[in-house]
């Protein structure tokens, strides 16, 4: 299994607009072969000292894929290119972590 954490920081005030495009694209991603989990997450407000908040402009995409081939196919999917074209101007930074379970 492959895990992905994508940390997306929107330009100020644009997070909800990006999330709207993201949610519209989710059914196509969930239908992809090898998609196990794919969804956005945001900070729990005022959770306390244990939390290092990302802030109001950031969300994290939590993904699980069956294998590397499924993740690579996801990246090449036409609906992902369309999503990127809509959101690229709204994004300040994007950091992708591709991980595997520790042995």
Confidence of residue 25 (pLDDT cuts 50, 70, 90): very high
Confidence of residue 28 (pLDDT cuts 50, 70, 90): very high
Query: In the chain, what percentage of residues exceed pLDDT 90?
Result: 98
Closest by CA to 60, choosing from 2, 100, 19, 29, is 19
Q: What's the CATH number of domain 2-44+52-99, 3.20.20.20, 3.30.70.100, 3.40.190.80, 2.60.40.10?
A: 3.30.70.100
Collapsing DSSP to helix, strand or coil, 34 comes out as coil
Domain residues of the chain, as ranges? 2-44+52-99
The pLDDT score that the predictor gives to residue 7 is: 98
Measure CA 94 to chain center.
Answer: 9
Q: Taking residues 74-88, what's their average pLDDT?
A: 98
Rounded to whole angstroms, the Cα distance separating 74 from 62 reads 14
Would the pTM count as exceeding 0.85? yes
The pLDDT score that the predictor gives to residue 4 is: 98
């Amino acid at each position: 299994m492959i895990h992905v954490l994508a940390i997306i920081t929107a330009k100020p005030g644009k997070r909800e607009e990006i999330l709207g495009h993201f949610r519209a694209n989710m059914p196509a991603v969930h239908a992809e072969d090898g998609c196990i989990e794919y969804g956005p997450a945001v900070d729990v407000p005022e959770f306390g000292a244990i939390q290092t908040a990302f802030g109001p402009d950031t969300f994290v995409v939590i993904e699980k894929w069956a294998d590397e081939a499924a993740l690579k196919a996801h990246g090449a999917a036409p609906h992902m290119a369309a999503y990127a074209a809509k959101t690229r101007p709204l994004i300040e930074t994007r950091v992708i972590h591709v991980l595997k379970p520790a042995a």
